[in-house]
Amino acid sequence: MNKIEHIGIAVKNLEESNQLFAKLFGKPHYKMEEVKSEGVKTSFFQVGENKIELLEATKEGSPIAKFVAKKGEGIHHIAFDVTDIQAEVIRLQKEGFVILNEAPKKGADNKLVVFLHPKGTNGVLVELCQEIKK
């Protein structure tokens, strides 16, 4: 793993949260995007070398809707940048981690993503991200 790519925060209202975090960080979000396959709208803030991703559910039953209903707003996941997502999936499976989606899928911000089950990572949902080469 190369670095923390971003921290994902589940929110109820993306517009209100964008205003709140813009005040907190002293600058507006730089990108918004919808990932229809996951039922989520995202917003990204650049904070130094790090990124914060806000996530709002766009449909009932989506992972973010379930998270907010169960736990409320808050940190949803930590994402790590990887060079070779397939190799990382294989390595982590050999180490005993449970991969939620073994085949990488397209996520927000031009990334391929895979998630690790939080039961094997002390309750933290871990996302692996690899930049999609154009």
For 62-114, the DSSP string reads SHHHHHHHHH-SEEEEEEEE-S-HHHHHHHHHHTTPPBS-SS-EE-SSSEEEE
97-130 tens-digit pLDDT: 999 997 999 999 999 999 999 999 999 999 999 9
On average, the pLDDT of the chain sits at 96
| Residue 28 contacts residue 22 (beta carbons within 8 Å) | yes
pTM over 0.95: no
